[in-house]
Structure 1
Amino acid sequence: MKNFALCLLATALMSCCQAAPQKADEPIAIISQESNIEPDGSYNYAYETANGIKAEETGTLKKATSPDSSDVIIARGSVSYTSPEGNLITLNYSADDENGFQPQGDHLPTPPPIPPAIQKALDYLLSLPPAKRR
C-alpha cells in the first residue's frame, strides 16, 4: 500500500510539472524564415514559429510624382497566432500613402450602424454645395 501511495504521488507530481505553463524566458524555435530585398526597394519576408505564429509581408516602392515629396512604400501582409483563449487570430493589412494602415480581421471591433435619421441628415449635408456645408 505504501508503494502504491508513493507511485500515485509521483504520478500526480509529474502531471503537475507537465501541465505547468511555458516560462516566458524560454526561446521559441523559428520553423521557417525567408527575406528578400531587391535593388529597386521592393521586399518580402515570411516566418513561422514553433508556437504557431506566422507572418508575411510584401512591399513595393512607389516613386514620388513631384520633386518635393519622397518615395513611399506600399505594403501588404498578414499575421496569425493563437489567442490565450485558443482562438486563431488572423490580421490582414495593407498600408500606403493614400489610405494609411488598413487592418482587417474578424477579431477587430466594428462600429454600430448609423441610425437612419442621422444618415439622412448626413446625406442631405453632402448634397449641399461646399460653401453651404458650414
Structure 2
Amino acid sequence: MKSTLVFACCLLAFAHANENANVLRHEAEVNVNDFKYALELDNSVNIQQQGQLKPSEREPNEQWVVEGQHSWTSPEGEPVAIQYLANENGYQVLSANPPLPTPPPIPEAIQRALDYIAAHPPPTATASF
C-alpha cells in the first residue's frame, strides 16, 4: 500500500512538472487485484507500471508487487531512465541510466560497533508492578 502511494505521488509530481506537455498516450486499467498504467508526453516523459496483488512469503496478507519504468530527458538534454520493482522488500531500482550514486562504505570502526551490537543484544526488560 505504501508503495502505491509513493508511485501515485511520483506520477503527480511528473504531471505537475509537465503542466504544458501534451499527452501522446494515456492508458489505465485498474482492477481489484491488479493494474496497468502508461503515460507518454510530447516532452519525452514516458511512464509505465503494472502491479499485482500477490501472496506474501513473510506477511499473512497479500502484498502489492509493482514493476515499472520512468524515462525522460533532463534539462541538460541527457536521457534518464529508471526501471524498478516494489514489493514487500521495498522499492528496488533494477537499472538506472545514468547510474544512481552509491553511498560510501561504512567505516571499519562503525561496522565493528554494529557487529558487536548485533552479537550482544540488550536484555529484554520485564515489567514488574
Question: Shorter-chain-normalised TM-score: which range?
Answer: 0.5 to 0.7
**Gap regions ≥5 residues in structure 1:** 1-23
Q: Is the 8 A contact 1:45 1:58 kept in 2?
A: yes
Give the root-mean-square deviation of aligned CA atoms.
3.2
Deviations 1:77-110 (A, max 9, x none): 00001111111010111101x3101124134102
Which of these residues, 44, 48, 72, is aligned with residue 81 of structure 1?
A: 72
Which of these residues, 7, 30, 33, is aligned with residue 37 of structure 1?
A: 30
3-state SS in 1 of match to 2:77: coil
Q: 1:112–1:51: structure 2 CA closer, same or farther, 3 Å change rule?
A: same
Q: 1:51–1:73: structure 2 CA closer, same or farther, 3 Å change rule?
A: same
3-state SS in 2 of match to 1:108: coil
The residue that corresponds to 1:10 in the other structure is none
The Cα of 1:53 is off from its aligned counterpart by 0.2
**Residues 1:99 and 2:92 aligned together:** no
Q: 1:29–1:73: structure 2 CA closer, same or farther, 3 Å change rule?
A: same
The residue that corresponds to 1:50 in the other structure is 42
Distance 1:100 1:28 in 2: 31
**Residues 1:62 and 2:58 aligned together:** no
Q: Which has the larger radius of gyration?
A: 1
With structure 2 as the length reference, what TM-score do the two structures score?
Answer: 0.59
With structure 1 as the length reference, what TM-score do the two structures score?
Answer: 0.57
What amino acid is the match of 2:38? A
What amino acid is the match of 1:94? L
**Gap regions ≥5 residues in structure 2:** 1-16, 122-129
Q: Is the 8 A contact 1:89 1:107 kept in 2?
A: no
Q: Is the 8 A contact 1:55 1:78 kept in 2?
A: yes
In percent, how many aligned pairs have the same letter?
Answer: 38
- Higher RCO, 1 vs 2 (CA within 8 Å, ≥6 residues apart): 2
What amino acid is the match of 1:61? L
3-state SS in 2 of match to 1:73: strand
